[in-house]
């Protein structure tokens, strides 16, 4: 982190500040989505934005996710820089055609003639007792699509810097925010800064085992690392921050150093983000690994409502702790 | 406005017994929801819930026109539809609390209660998400020649979802026995529907050749009358229809939506509560028509109150599902 | 039918020079497409292509009412729109053959030609897929105060896509300068539109408050007249409009669709070809009105023929992109 | 293969025969989709079906993929067994909400009360010069979703047996057919048979290296195996046939036996099917592998139109051959 004046901001405040600063800087940036204006979104992330920027730049939409996403694509191609708000990540199901067959491919299909500089903000993560249609983490789908970039901040600092990069990027970027983290605080510099895509961040250094964790799973991995420390295992926690582009090098180097790796992500485990990252590490650190790479994703079931059941589906620090302990033969 | 769209009055008179049953059903929903709010405030209920209070005449007026084996699909604001179609409060509360005795063994919660026994295909947390499902049930009924009809309940917010228009077209082309019941409570969450809805609502289904009309959603007799006619039409093979039910939700978008002044005036709420309450309107009318006396209504209220209290107690006492059930029901 | 929907006649008279230009543009499209068919038959063109022959009056009538910096979005049947908006045949053929000199460096092919210089946001292989994009361009024009308008071309098959209705609603709510040009050539691939389209087409946009009218899509003067009016309205800030252009495709759904009798009669094709051909209709009318003589039209035909031949030759001679270009243009 | 009377059928004929036999057997089965009736689909897979079963069971739809998929979900819940035709796999983008938030979750969300016995037939694969919106292989997305089953036949025999299993299954099944294989012939028994899901098929036995291949990549892998044989490398080709359920055991055992594995699939390489399968093998055969598992997927770019470019994006036998040769140090 650069040495500048810092304050503590919540994740929500950090996102909002990034958006507000970019909107002040660049008149082409605007926001649209359901209940983004006076309501400031159900998570209140955008509170106060409409007061500063007005209803022509913070735009409430009907409940028409494909429709307003399509409008964002066209606006982005013709000189604007839209930020689209998809309230719950579960509703990405509705915008796949506009994002995947349109936004992601326009630049390529036109041989570079058109660009689509847009950001789609959405959420991931369970734990809110919201059940199967409001708790999914569908970033694996987006990461699978050439032409999209995929961002998964895990701290207010990262959220602000990555959001600024996303808005300044000339490509469609999908930005996932964990619903449970909006109120978590962290230091954020006052000065303008950006964080490049494709640069993993070592959230904690360690020697014995690497824990790669994304988004909501970063604090969980850090808590597991603290538990591991108590039994004499030094865990390194690495946060890729963007699943595409993916900083394969940092992940592989950490695994080479520690010789063991666990990958934790809140998406469904099968054919999910943990598969890609585990495979990258298993290949890149093949001759250095002392144990198979361990994957820990959300249980491969639709997310249940009942608290004891839902809790069983989300990776916990205890599960990570046990896995790491076993891998380190402790 | 097209020819197909007419404003309906009340239909043929209902007997006192049926009216008292309707009164009981609406009261059951109201008391049910008030207890849900209470469970939320007492932090007994996990997550959030969208209350149906104020809209009871819509669900009850329509469902009382249906056969037990007719189908409905419902929404995130689904408790009213569910009760009106015949579910019982005890297993519903159990579901809301995530208990094994719930309709979905605790896996669904407030937004996913489903009940094959009463023809309820399920609440749905995707706005407009069940429009196809309802038409599909009607399609199946038609193919099987079962004489069943399907009612698709949805809020006016779902008018924003393209799926609706695809399905309106398909159901008219295939002449399906489905009734689209649009509950216009004037708000898509925190946004007034006039900010999200261009043109005229009734002209939309009419454009697909679907007969469309509006009804006062606070007048259960009116709702029931028009629903009866539409259900008969559908059952007779006359295809789909669209009913716009103008109504109001008394409480917040969900139980946590307490400070609402930034999007709607207190005065507006008070007006609806005091002058348009569907339960009070029916009770008053029955008394004025000498179809019932106050004590009979009071008795219903008391009975429902204890039924609801018992149901809450049942749910609170019920056990959570064993954790290993989490892996069950993924595949049939 | 709603008040907003009216049948249009031709508008103010056009000068002979403009008419000859329109004649040339339509002829260019016709000759272009005939050569595409030929390239397919000769197995020179990779993949398939959807020909616009027969529908020329729609693209030309509308695009001639646009400024060069106005936007269009197009479809899988997009060559006509592309040429009408100002692209040149040489780079289009190069694209169709997958050559580096093509508009998309060979990456797009027939279904994805795009050209910023002429305001063409691109053909689109997803039916209805560009409806939002067109409205978005209009949205951007409005936000930037550029005075541009956008035209969204789509086949009547796209009336099946829910996205269209979402965007109709949004564009009316936000009063966007966009014109929806629905090309009703009566077939969704191999299915007649009457089997896929319930109700009345014009009532659909009208239901969202969007003025909608129909025009004879074989009469380029009529198309141009109404397009001019709609474009002026949009530019003046009067919001979106919808134009239903009744037309016909002469050839198969794509170049490989040769045996068509199982879905449409030869006689129907012959009728359109012989009595409704937009190029012939314009030529005959100009001669009868003494705005042109046959030799002038013949000269245009000859000029276009050699232009097209040269363009084909250019494309055939052009090199394929180097294989390492495959990884370029994924990200800007 | 059981010992019964066999004939040669094309892949298209095998699929059609399975559908026709199941429709004769079970009046609840019906087909709907765009141009499925008189046209018999653009690929002619369903030619003749409407003549036998009539327009009430082979139903042409408007171009409304989400709409008729939703109708299929409702019909499946209430006593029918729909087979939905999505012409190109690229249009799955439009039905993700109905398939993922509805079909896949209804059984779970209702605590087992409702079932959704439906089949979605669709296509995958490039090579037809159809460009970025008509060439994708999006089965990784579907495989990521708990509640769905995902089938990828690679021979007429498998196609028929797996389609019958799909129709008789009480869950939503997504059935992917390779567009380039419809005319490929293979032996198909006359008698009724089904193939269970979750059972991989060893398409060719070998000793030195395992090539796991799906769908369109099975013939490519077999061709590579023939080339490898010529330089003295014995390759085993294993076809999982269903990506969910996945027969992890057979894949792992083959890799243990040969000590080397390549995974080939025509989906985009990153966060795709090769990641899951490679990771399963890398973990399961960790102590037996002599080299990192090699993944070969479609190049991570939107699929280009131009023939030399498109050809460069699809895995070829040559690429597999080279990779295997290198892994075997030849
Ligand atoms: C597809 C989708 N988009 C957004 C949401 C978030 N959401 C839940 S309820 C709601 C408003 C629904 O309004 P309406 O349909 O009028 O129903 P009401 O709540 O008024 O009963 C929204 C936007 C959702 N659940 N699904
Ligand atoms: C979403 C989607 N569904 C299906 C298709 C396959 N398809 C390509 S063109 C076409 C028919 C389109 O008909 P219409 O819109 O009337 O255009 P026309 O071909 O008549 O110009 C279909 C079904 C597609 N490309 N996109
Ligand atoms: Mg509402
Ligand atoms: Mg057409």
Strand pairing of C241-246 and D6-10? unpaired
Q: In chain B, what percentage of residues exceed pLDDT 90?
A: 96
Report the neighbours of D using a cutoff of 3 or more CB pairs below 8 angstroms: A, B, C
Distance, in Å, from the CA atom of D251 to the CA atom of D244, rounded to the nearest integer, reads 14
Do residues A215 and A90 both lie within one domain?
A: no
Is A43 in the same domain as A183? yes
pLDDT in tens, A126-154: 999 999 999 999 999 999 999 999 999 99
Nearest atom within ligand 1 for CA of residue B55? 21
Query: Confidence band (pLDDT; 50, 70, 90) for C10?
Result: low
Integer Cα distance of A221 and A240 in angstroms: 13
Residues with Cβ within 5 Å of ion ligand 3?
B 155-157, 185, 187
* Ligand 1 atom closest to B159 (CA): 15
Residue B18 has pLDDT above 90, yes or no: yes
Dihedral (CA of A14, A18, A21, A23) sign: negative
Inside any domain, residue A241 = yes
Residues framing ligand 1 (Cβ under 6 A): A 34, 63, 65, 87, 91, 94; B 50, 76-77, 125-127, 155-158, 185, 187-189, 253
Q: What is the mean pLDDT of residues B132-137?
A: 98
Token pair, residue B243, equals 């009913």
pLDDT tens over chain D, length 330 residues: 455 688 999 999 999 999 999 999 999 999 999 999 999 999 999 999 999 999 999 999 999 999 999 999 999 999 999 999 999 999 999 999 999 999 999 999 999 999 999 999 999 999 999 999 999 999 999 999 999 999 999 999 999 999 999 999 999 999 999 999 999 999 999 999 999 999 999 999 999 999 999 999 999 999 999 999 999 999 999 999 999 999 999 999 999 999 999 999 999 999 999 999 999 999 999 999 999 999 999 999 999 999 999 999 999 999 999 999 999 998
CA angle A268, A271, A273 (to 5 degrees): 70
Together in a domain, A13 and A47: yes
E-only strand ranges, A62-118: 81-85
CATH at residue A294: 3.40.50.920
Listed residue (D29, D73, D11, D30) closest to D216, CA to CA:
D11
B62 Cβ contact list (under 8 Å, min separation 6): B84, B151, B153, B179, B181, B223, B224, B227, B243
Over pLDDT 70: what percentage of chain B?
A: 96
Nearest to C326 among D42, D67, D309 (CB): D309
Confidence of residue C4 (pLDDT cuts 50, 70, 90): very low
Asked whether the beta carbons of B153 and B181 are under 8 A apart, the reply is yes
C-alpha A23/C-alpha A59 separation (Å) is 13
Give the per-residue pLDDT at D5.
83
Average pLDDT over residues A35-58: 97
A158 plus A213 within the same structural domain: no
Question: How far is the centre of ligand 3, averaged over its atoms, from the C-alpha of B2 (Å)?
Answer: 24
Return the pLDDT at A112: 98
Chain C neighbors of A68, CB-CB under 8 A: 132, 166, 170
Residues A220 and A176 in one domain: no
Nearest ligand by distance to the CA of B75 = 1
**Does residue D195 lie within any of the structural domains?**
no
> Which residues in chain A touch residue C179, judged by CB atoms under 8 angstroms apart?
none
Tell me: do D11 and D151 sit in the same domain: yes
Q: How many CB pairs under 8 A join A and D?
A: 145
Positions of A annotated as catalytic residues are 134
C-alpha span between A129 and D120 (Å, rounded): 31
Rounded CA separation A32/A39 (Å):
13
Residue given tokens 């099975």 in the structure block:
D218
Q: Which ligand is nearest to the CA of C160?
A: 2
Q: Which of C124, C125, C156 is nearest to C245 (CA)?
A: C156
What mean pLDDT comes out for the span C57-67? 98
What b/e sequence results for B237-252 when a residue is b if at least 16 CB atoms lie within 10 Å of its CB, and e otherwise?
A: eebbbbbbbbbbbbbb
Has residue C151 got a pLDDT over 90? yes
The verdict on D93 touching B (C-beta cutoff 8 Å) is no
End-to-end CA distance of chain B: 47
| One domain for residues D176 and D238 | no
Ligand 2 pocket, residue C247 CB under 6 Å: no
Residue D85 lies inside a defined structural domain of this protein: yes
Domain count, chain D: 2
Do D172 and D215 belong together in one domain? no
| Residue D283 in domain | yes
For residues A225 and A107, membership in a common domain is answered with no
Q: Does B262 touch chain A (CB under 8 A)?
A: yes
Return phi, psi of residue C138, to 5°: -65, -40
Residue with tokens 């959220």: A159
pLDDT confidence of residue A3: 59
Q: Reply yes or no on whether D134 is catalytic.
A: yes
Over residues B24-57, the pLDDT tens digits come to 999 999 999 999 999 999 999 999 999 999 999 9
Give tens-digit pLDDT for A84-108.
999 999 999 999 999 999 999 999 9
Count the neighbouring beta carbons within 10 Å of the beta carbon of residue B268.
Answer: 12
**Which residue's C-alpha comes closest to atom 25 of ligand 1?**
B126
CA of A142 to the centre of ligand 2 (A): 26
Q: Domain boundary at D189, D223, D244, which?
A: D189
Same domain as A32, residue A171: yes
C-alpha to C-alpha distance for D32 and C263, rounded to whole angstroms: 18
The confidence score (pLDDT) of residue D6 equals: 84
User: Other C-beta atoms within 10 Å of A97: how many?
Assistant: 28
Among candidate residues A169, A189, A209, the one where a domain is terminated: A189
Inside any domain, residue A194? no
Q: Which residues contact A311 (CB under 8 A, 6 or more apart)?
A: A127
Task: Indicate if A167 and A284 belong to the same structural domain.
Answer: no
| pLDDT tens digits, D303-322 | 999 999 999 999 999 999 99
C98 to D61: CB separation less than 8 angstroms, yes or no:
no
Q: What is the DSSP string of B231-286?
A: HHHHHTT---EEEEEE---SS-SSTT----TTTS-HHHHHHHHHH--HHHHHHHHH
Asked if C244 reaches chain B (Cβ–Cβ under 8 Å), the answer is: no
* pLDDT of B10 strictly over 90: no
- Please tell me the distance from the alpha carbon of residue A184 to that of residue A43, in angstroms, as a whole number: 13
pLDDT at A330: 86
pLDDT band at B11; cut points 50, 70, 90: low
- Tell me the β-bridge partners of A268: A298
Cis check: omega of the bond before D245, within 30 degrees of 0: yes
Calculate the alpha carbon distances from C102 to C32, C88, C320, C321, D141 in Å: 15, 10, 10, 10, 33
What is the distance between the alpha carbons of residues A131 and C144, in angstroms, rounded to a whole number?
42
* Stretch (H or E) spanning B81: helix B79-85
**What is the DSSP track for B154-177?**
EEGGGGG-HHHHHHHHHHHHTT--
Tens digit of each residue's pLDDT (9 = 90 or more) over B283-301:
999 999 999 999 999 999 9
pLDDT above 70 for B8: no
How buried is A183 (Cβ within 10 angstroms: 0-12 exposed, 13-18 middle, 19+ buried)?
A: exposed
Q: Is B166 on the interface with D (CB under 8 A)?
A: yes
Locate B188 and state its tokens: 């898509």
- Domain holding A170: CATH number? 3.40.50.970
Q: Which residues of A touch C163 (CB under 8 A)?
A: 66-67, 70, 97-98
Q: Could you tell me which residues are beta bridge partners of residue D174?
A: D120, D150
Query: Tell me, what's the pLDDT at B85?
Result: 98
Q: C126 CB less than 6 Å from ligand 2? A: yes
The reply to whether D19 falls in a domain is: yes
Residues D184 and D205 in one domain: no
Q: Could you say which of D30, D71, D80 has the minimum Cβ distance to residue B135?
A: D71
Judged against a pLDDT cut of 90, whether residue B170 lies above it is answered with yes
Is A268 in Cβ contact with D146 (below 8 Å)?
Answer: yes
3-state secondary structure D127-188: CCCCCCCCCCCCHHHHHCCCCCEEECCCCHHHHHHHHHHHHHCCCCEEEEEEHHHCCCEEEE
* Interface with A, mutate which of D275, D301, D304 (most A CBs under 10 A): D275
CA of D174 to the centre of ligand 1 (A): 29
- The chain-wide mean pLDDT, for chain C, equals 96
Of the residues D154, D189, D224, the one at which a domain ends:
D189
Query: Closest partner residue to D111 among B132, B144, B329, by Cβ?
Result: B329
pTM of the predicted protein model: 0.97
Structure tokens at C70: 């106005």
The reply to whether ligand 2 has any atom less than 6 angstroms from the CB of D159 is no
CB-based contact (8 Å) between B119 and chain D? no
Give the rounded percent of residues in chain C with a pLDDT score beyond 90.
96
Which of D107, D134, D139, D144 is the catalytic position?
Answer: D134
CA distances from C77 to A113, C119, C160 (A): 20, 17, 17
Q: Is C272 within 8 Å of C250 (Cβ atoms)?
A: yes
ipTM (interface predicted TM)? 0.97
Q: Which residue, among C29, C144, C135, C22, has the nearest Cα to C73 in the 3D structure?
A: C135
Q: Which chain B residues are closer than 8 Å to D110 by Cβ?
A: 103-104, 107-108, 112, 114, 122, 329
Structural domains for chain B: 15-251+258-319 (3.40.50.970)
Distance of CA B169 to the CA centre of its chain: 23
Instruction: Kindly list the residues from chain C whose CB atom is less than 8 angstroms away from the CB atom of residue D35.
Output: 188-191
Residue A50 forms part of a structural domain: yes
Contact in structure between C200 and B193 (CB atoms under 8 Å) = no
Q: Is any atom of ligand 2 closer than 6 Å to the C-beta of D91?
A: yes
**Residues of the domain holding D110:** 7-189
At residue A6, the pLDDT reads: 84
How many Å apart are CA C161 and CA B167, to the nearest integer?
10
List, for residues C98-127, the tens digit of each pLDDT value: 999 999 999 999 999 999 999 999 999 999
Spatial separation of the C-alpha atoms in residues C156 and A100, rounded to whole Å: 24
Structural domain includes residue A1: no
């Amino acid at each position: 982190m650069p040495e500048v004046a810092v304050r503590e901001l919540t994740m929500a405040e950090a996102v909002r500040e990034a958006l507000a600063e970019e909107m002040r800087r660049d008149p082409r940036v605007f926001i649209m989505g359901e209940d983004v204006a006076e309501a400031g979104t159900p998570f209140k992330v955008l509170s106060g934005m409409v007061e500063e920027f007005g209803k022509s730049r913070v735009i409430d939409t009907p409940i028409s996710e494909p429709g307003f996403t399509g409008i964002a694509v066209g606006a982005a191609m013709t000189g604007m820089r839209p930020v689209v708000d998809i309230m719950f990540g579960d509703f990405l199901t509705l915008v796949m055609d506009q994002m995947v067959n349109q936004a992601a491919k326009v630049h390529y299909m036109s041989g570079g003639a058109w660009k689509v500089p847009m950001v789609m903000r959405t959420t991931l993560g369970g734990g809110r007792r919201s059940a199967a249609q409001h708790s999914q983490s569908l970033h694996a789908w987006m990461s699978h699509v050439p032409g999209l970039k995929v961002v998964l901040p895990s701290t207010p600092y990262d959220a602000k810097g990555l959001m600024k990069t996303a808005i300044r990027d000339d490509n469609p970027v999908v930005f996932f925010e964990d619903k449970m983290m909006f109120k978590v605080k962290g230091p954020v510099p006052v000065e303008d800064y950006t964080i490049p895509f494709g640069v993993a961040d070592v959230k904690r250094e360690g020697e014995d085992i690497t824990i790669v964790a994304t988004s909501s799973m970063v604090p969980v991995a850090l808590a597991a690392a603290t538990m591991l420390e108590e039994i004499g295992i030094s865990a390194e926690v690495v946060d890729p921050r963007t699943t595409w582009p993916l900083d394969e090098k940092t992940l592989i180097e950490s695994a080479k150093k520690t010789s063991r790796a666990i990958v934790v992500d809140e998406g469904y485990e099968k054919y999910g983000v943990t598969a890609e990252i585990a495979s990258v590490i298993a290949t890149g650190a093949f001759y250095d690994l002392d144990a198979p790479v361990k994957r820990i994703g959300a249980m491969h079931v639709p997310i249940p409502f009942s608290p004891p059941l839902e809790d069983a589906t989300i990776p916990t620090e205890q599960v990570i702790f046990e896995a790491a302990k076993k891998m380190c033969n402790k | 406005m097209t020819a197909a769209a007419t404003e309906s009055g009340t239909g043929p008179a209902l007997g006192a017994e049926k009216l008292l049953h309707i009164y009981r059903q609406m009261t059951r929903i109201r008391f049910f929801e008030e207890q849900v709010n209470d469970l939320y405030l007492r932090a007994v209920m996990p997550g959030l819930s969208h209350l149906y209070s104020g809209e009871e005449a819509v669900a009850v007026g329509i469902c009382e026109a249906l056969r037990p084996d007719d189908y409905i699909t419902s929404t995130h604001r689904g408790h009213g539809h569910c009760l009106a179609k015949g579910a019982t409060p005890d297993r519903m509360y159990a579901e809301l609390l995530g208990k094994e005795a719930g309709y979905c063994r605790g896996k669904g919660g407030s937004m996913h209660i489903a009940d094959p026994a009463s023809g309820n295909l399920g609440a749905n947390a995707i706005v407009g998400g069940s429009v196809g499902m309802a038409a599909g049930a009607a399609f199946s009924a038609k193919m099987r020649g079962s004489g069943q009809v399907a009612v698709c309940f949805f809020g006016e917010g779902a008018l924003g979802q393209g799926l609706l228009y695809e399905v309106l077209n398909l159901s008219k082309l295939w002449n399906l026995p489905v009734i689209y019941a649009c509950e216009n409570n004037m708000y898509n969450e925190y946004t007034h529907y006039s900010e999200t809805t261009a043109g005229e609502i009734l002209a939309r289904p009419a454009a697909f050749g679907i007969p469309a009309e509006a009804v006062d959603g606070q007048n259960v007799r009116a709702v029931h009358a028009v629903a009866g006619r539409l259900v008969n039409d559908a059952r007779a093979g006359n295809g789909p229809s669209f009913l716009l039910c103008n109504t109001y939700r008394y409480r917040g978008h969900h139980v946590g939506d307490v400070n609402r002044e930034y999007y709607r005036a207190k005065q507006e709420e008070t007006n609806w509560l005091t002058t348009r309450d569907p339960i009070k309107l029916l009770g008053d009318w029955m008394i004025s028509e000498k179809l019932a006396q106050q004590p009979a209504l009071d008795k219903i209220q008391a009975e429902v109150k204890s039924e609801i209290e018992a149901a809450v107690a049942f749910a609170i006492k019920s056990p959570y599902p064993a954790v290993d059930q989490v892996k069950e029901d993924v595949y049939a």
